[in-house]
Amino acid sequence: MKNVFVETANVKDYLSALSALEERGAEEACIVVVDGAPGLGKTTTMQHHVAQTGSIYLRAKKEWHPKWMLNELLDALNVEKPRGIEQKYTKVISELADRQQLAIQNRRSFSLVIDEFDHCSSRPAILETCRDISDLLELPTIFVGMGKVNDNLKRFPQVASRVSQKVRFDPMKEDDVRKLIESRCEIKVADDLMKFVAKMSKGYNREVLEAIASIERFGFRIEIGADGISMADMAGEKLMNDRASGTPIYVPEAY
């Protein structure tokens, strides 16, 4: 499978939100909430953004408390951790400020991305720590969750008021499924098989990538026609697993 990042409609919405954030009016309103079900490409998008910009990526933990979060942030910044929590906080602010200033000088964006934020989006201590860091540095801070972040933040207006942009990742439409297959699959795929993948994956990136891997495993063993590997070629072969039941989905013998 080709290691290519594909700009789907969801990715474009995210990039538009980042652009809008840079043009925001209230300087303290620099939080972006990215929500959507698992398997829609949120984490892949965030990791690509981090790799392109040198931003900082954290994955929230269920039992996070401010000291634990600051320790992981210092690890991500690759700097030595002071002993006291006040010293940890001061070190985080100093390091983030330096990197933010360097990014400004190089005319690129810089942000703090916290994935799986559902785990702590209802925990006041973590929210206040994130808000303090974001406010003090006017640092774009991106909370990534699986559908609960926006609702949880409503209970904390002092944080919710800092949310400048909201992005929802939705299942891909057929055009984006085709784009993903054409960009990442090392084997040409026929139109009928592309449509079948779009239908059975229900537009979830994870299932489409699973289908691509199955198509490649099978396709490398046979001679493929000019139109690409088709449903007739793969009849009876496993394509992916059903998201709801976990049962295998096979290409039908007759279509």
Residue-wise pLDDT tens digits, 44-62? 999 999 999 999 999 999 9
What confidence score (pLDDT) does residue 28 get?
67
Q: What is the pLDDT of residues 166-211, one digit of tens each?
A: 999 999 999 999 999 999 999 999 999 999 999 999 999 999 999 9
pLDDT above 60 (res 255): no
Delimit the domains of the chain by residue range.
9-168, 174-250
Q: What value does the mean pLDDT of the chain take?
A: 94
What confidence score (pLDDT) does residue 202 get?
96
The answer to whether 156 and 150 are in contact (CB under 8 A) is no
* CATH architecture of the domain covering 9-168: 3-Layer(aba) Sandwich (3.40)
What confidence score (pLDDT) does residue 27 get?
67
Q: Tell me what the mean pLDDT of segment 144-159 comes to.
A: 92
Is residue 41 very low, low, confident or very high in pLDDT (cuts 50, 70, 90)?
very high
